[in-house]
Amino acid sequence: MTSASPRRILFFDHDLNSDHVASVVRSRHPVEITVTHDMDEAVSEIEKGDLALVVVDADLPTKTGHELLEWMDGHHVEVPVLIGSGEDGRPELLSEFPDLVKIFERKPMSVDLLEDMVELYAP
């Protein structure tokens, strides 16, 4: 990695569509995208540093998406977060974690939206 802006993106999601979306974005942009479905793996990726964006599924069955946000907030991680959520999603996460959560989007997330976020946060 150079000293320029970070080019790594983390997806923390149990949805198989996230692998497809990550693959499409990866093919169009020179970014490294890691998809993880496990809280410990997500924390490990964050601890490596140099992340430009974290994409979190707020609807993970075990509520680990919320737990990851709490961990990031408690450890003062300064990486923008894009929240993906289903119909019963929690838009209040925008106000609960104002320093982290930048966008709340209903799932399935579009490739176009993610590409916009990549261009904004990992140019």
Domain boundaries of the chain, sorted by first residue: 8-121
The SS3 of residue 94 is: helix
Phi/psi of residue 117, each to 5°?
-70, -40
Residues 72-89 have a mean pLDDT of 86
Confidence of residue 1 (pLDDT cuts 50, 70, 90): very low
Give tens-digit pLDDT for 30-74.
999 999 988 999 999 999 998 999 999 877 566 778 899 999 999
Annotation: CATH topology of 8-121: Rossmann fold (3.40.50)
**What count of Cα atoms within 13 Å lies in the side-chain half-sphere of residue 112?**
0
How many residues in the chain?
123
pTM score, two decimals?
A: 0.85
